[in-house]
Amino acid sequence: MAQEGEHTPNSASGNRPGFLGEALPGSEPLEEGQDLAAAMVSGIGSFLESELARADAALAPGAWTEADISARRGALARSIGVVDNRLPVSALELVGNTLAPALLARTARWEAWAARWPVLPGVEGEGLWLRPVAPPAAHVVVLPDADQAPEALAGLTADIPPSGQIAARLADAGCEVLIPVLVDRGPTWAGGHPRREYVWRMAFEVGRHIIGYEVQRVLALVDHLTAAATDGQPVALYGYGEGGLVALHAAALDRRIAAVVVSGHFRDRREIWREPLYRDVWGLLRAGLGDAGLAALVAPRPLLVEAVSGPVVRGLPSGVPHPGVILSAGTLEPARPELVRHEVERARTAYDRHGAADRLELLEPGPLAEGSAPGQAGGVEALLRVLGLPPHGTPARGCLDRLSPGPEPRARQERQMRQLCDFTQGLLRRSRAVRDTAWQVADRSSPEAWARSCQPFRERFEADVIGCLPEPDVPPRPRSRLVWDRPDWRGYEVLLDVWPGVFASGLLLLPTDIQPGERRPVVVCQHGLEGRARDTVEGPPHGPYRNFARRLAERGYITYAPQNPYVGDEAFRVLQRKSHPLGASLFSVIVAQHRRTLAWLSGLPCVDAARVAFYGLSYGGKAAMRVPALLSGYCLSICSADFNEWAMKCASEDEPQLSYLFGSEYDMYEFDLAHTCNYAEMAGLIAPRPFMVERGHRDGVGTDEWVAFEYARVARLYDELGIGERTELATFVGGHWIDGRASFAFLERHLGDPRGVRRGAQRGGDDGRQRP
């Protein structure tokens, strides 16, 4: 029975009648009856989870050579953005005024001071300095969880029990202790995102990370302590929860750190995609840098894993200022003890290789431990032991004199976050100059020279921004079924395998007047966010797609409307979370699907493989920028309702109504895109093939000014290459939809009349050669 919107066979068709459900010649019958779009998203999710498990299982830190360790240390620094030169710390600056003096408290053994120190231009670290009265026996940086104040770990408040006041306990034992403030998980004033996520979003786009920024604040202290420590005393770290994560990363990067305690954090990271977004790290597992891998970078220095449960984060932060904003999912749950033990044992192979198995210790809490605070499993005693210091008891609060209220916590928290935001916004504003410098080496002497010289940029864009997944290892096994039989065209639903459980699908519209032996141009018509391929064929007449796949088929083009996997809201957005640790993205999958689709289309006897064009709207416009930039099989590209100053669109604080920084779409972020390929550079990778931007003046996806600014760079390139006629910015009075007037003319100008002799300027392929 024909489904709604489908037609029964029509004997008036130009060729023989079709029968609904029959397959295209050369393909098997398509029998799948479920929602193929939802099945696609589900299959991709399962595939990515299997790839995460495979990457995790391949970890063998015991076999790493010194060269392997050095390479991974460099990969870690890049993936968390520890790439900026720190400022020198000649001395700690005391923070106080007449109402709140810098000296906060005093005991018989140490004093607590409010302090800060320079880190990066405009960025400071801030926290507490516990200065021992006697010369220090060691130097320890204590890192609280993100939602803990330094004062709690110093015993200046009663927020945690005395046994968990690890900074005070270490100071009582004669250590100089510094306690930085971490950016917390509370809601920002803008958009309602947790503060850590808000920083993550803008930082990710410029190749930085909230983890890396916190590590920089710690390493600035290590710089100071190692430079000032003429006594030769060791520098150690002790971190809990988010502080444990930062401590582990810092110790993995910097061999000056003599020992580290990781409390309430250590576990395997195969399901890192379930954790809060601000823990999303590009390429983490691809580089083998789960917690066992990071431990291997610490080896053979002492690593003490204190297996307390750590902080629990469930749901959204309280006090969100804009309840209508959808925040990214992500939780922190206590790690199961057996998983912690398993990860420690994997790390032990690296310590065994150094003959230092006793320097990796798993500290598990006893049955009488008080909750999940740091220090509940003997971390303080174990650290003092490895530092060669005698144990010391739990501090008594009655021995502490509180002298000053110190800095106001909320104002201090805002300072710490705002400094990181301002630093990141500066990187964003300067990113165009970085790209311009890098692209100066591209040869503009001719279209052919440009295409050749762009290949290294294309390879970097695919490897470092889009990301690569394994080559498909299954045959395509094309399946199809006829779903429309109209007088002017027939429509087939098509499915092609890509990886196990992952397929590409779409709708192929074939004009009925194609003659035997004739080859026609193809226009690939890509839908947008939450769209379906069918929307481009039989959607609402005045909907965003204006049925452009059908209208082009009626003009004589073969059209193909792929189903892309950005449907299902959180079901597809989490695919980014699953792919990022692999050094991949949603577009890694989409590119692979299109690569397979192109190969299949090019093999159809009625298709002119040299004339396959791409035309996408909205999220499909994103595909129109990225997919043809990487796949030379597309002879031209039209980006509709998406072209932008993309880095600013994702990360700028200056345009709250336009920037994804304030919205729910966390899937938009691509690691270090701002320094590699913005939209002008993506268009440069498409050049010298024809490229068009279709823009409605009232389209809220951007502003005319942003679009014109970025497109001017494209037009200049095409003019410099002597092919200015191959690019166009077509504007119309309207909104977020396909207009079609200028774009259809652009297609005919560069693809030719699909039913007759080609007219207008010839089209150059991606290698710059003229094609017949």
What does DSSP say about strands 103-106 and 138-143: parallel, antiparallel, or unpaired?
A: unpaired
User: Cα separation of 627 and 302, whole Å?
Assistant: 47
Selection from 41, 587, 580 nearest residue 273 by Cα: 580
User: Cα separation of 112 and 404, whole Å?
Assistant: 10
Give pLDDT tens digits for 666-686: 999 999 999 999 999 999 999
Q: Specify the amino acid at residue 163.
A: S
Average of per-residue pLDDT across 572-576: 95
What confidence tier does 398 reach under pLDDT thresholds 50, 70, 90? low
Q: What is the pLDDT of residue 325?
A: 46
User: For residue 333, is pLDDT > 60?
Assistant: yes
Give pLDDT tens digits for 613-660: 999 999 999 999 999 999 999 999 999 999 999 999 999 999 888 999
* Cβ-based neighbours of 82, under 8 Å, separated by 6 or more: 76, 212, 215, 216, 219, 253
User: Cα separation of 4 and 129, whole Å?
Assistant: 72
User: Cα separation of 606 and 559, whole Å?
Assistant: 12
Average of per-residue pLDDT across 27-38: 91
Instruction: List Cβ<8 Å contacts ≥24 apart for 169-172.
Output: 169/375, 169/380, 169/392, 169/394, 169/395, 170/130, 170/140, 170/142, 170/238, 170/380, 170/383, 170/384, 171/107, 171/109, 171/110, 171/130, 171/132, 172/107, 172/109, 172/110, 172/392, 172/393, 172/395
User: Cα separation of 434 and 428, whole Å?
Assistant: 10
What confidence tier does 577 reach under pLDDT thresholds 50, 70, 90? very high
Q: What is the pLDDT of residue 497?
A: 98
Do the beta carbons of residue 751 and residue 636 sit within 8 Å?
A: yes
User: For residue 305, is pLDDT > 70?
Assistant: yes
| Helices of type H across 631-677 | 646-651
At 543 the three-state DSSP class reads coil
Do the beta carbons of residue 614 and residue 717 sit within 8 Å?
A: no
Q: What is the pLDDT of residue 664?
A: 83
Give pLDDT tens digits for 490-519: 999 999 999 999 999 999 999 999 999 999
Phi, psi for residue 245 in degrees, rounded to 5: -60, -50
User: Cα separation of 754 and 157, whole Å?
Assistant: 77
Selection from 634, 640, 636, 637 nearest residue 620 by Cα: 640
Which token pair is 515? 């003659």
Helical (H) or strand (E) element with 196: helix 195-205
* Cβ-based neighbours of 502, under 8 Å, separated by 6 or more: 40, 43, 44, 47, 589, 593
Q: Is 582 left (phi over 0), alpha (psi -120 to 50) or beta?
A: alpha
Q: Whole-prediction pTM value?
A: 0.93
Q: What is the pLDDT of residue 190?
A: 52
Among 29-33, 284-288, 381-385, 543-547, which is the least confidently predicted range? 29-33
User: Cα separation of 679 and 623, whole Å?
Assistant: 12
Q: Specify the amino acid at residue 644.
A: N
What angle (nearest 5°) sits at the alpha carbon of residue 528, between those of residues 527 and 532?
55
Give pLDDT tens digits for 176-207: 999 999 999 988 865 578 999 999 999 999 99
Selection from 385, 363, 375 nearest residue 137 by Cα: 385
User: Cα separation of 376 and 356, whole Å?
Assistant: 25
Give pLDDT tens digits for 536-554: 999 998 999 999 999 999 9
Percentage of the chain beyond pLDDT 90 is 83
User: For residue 12, is pLDDT > 70?
Assistant: no
Among 8-17, 363-372, 657-666, which is the least confidently predicted range? 8-17
User: For residue 115, is pLDDT > 70?
Assistant: yes
Give pLDDT tens digits for 223-236: 999 987 666 899 99
User: For residue 320, is pLDDT > 70?
Assistant: no
* Cβ-based neighbours of 552, under 8 Å, separated by 6 or more: 523, 525, 559, 744, 747
At 547 the three-state DSSP class reads coil
Q: What is the pLDDT of residue 193?
A: 85
Q: What is the pLDDT of residue 189?
A: 63
Round the average pLDDT of the chain to a whole number and report it. Answer: 91
Percentage of the chain beyond pLDDT 70 is 91
**Beta partners for 415?**
none
Q: What is the pLDDT of residue 760?
A: 39
Q: What is the pLDDT of residue 10?
A: 34
User: Cα separation of 508 and 699, whole Å?
Assistant: 29
Packing angle, helices 619-630 and 679-686, rounded to 10: 50
Give pLDDT tens digits for 402-421: 999 999 999 999 999 999 99
User: For residue 372, is pLDDT > 90?
Assistant: no
* Cβ-based neighbours of 339, under 8 Å, separated by 6 or more: 267, 268
Q: Specify the amino acid at residue 670.
A: E
Average of per-residue pLDDT across 269-295: 96
User: For residue 771, is pLDDT > 60?
Assistant: no
Q: What is the pLDDT of residue 761?
A: 36
User: Cα separation of 532 and 512, whole Å?
Assistant: 24
Sign of CA pseudo-dihedral 597, 600, 603, 605: negative
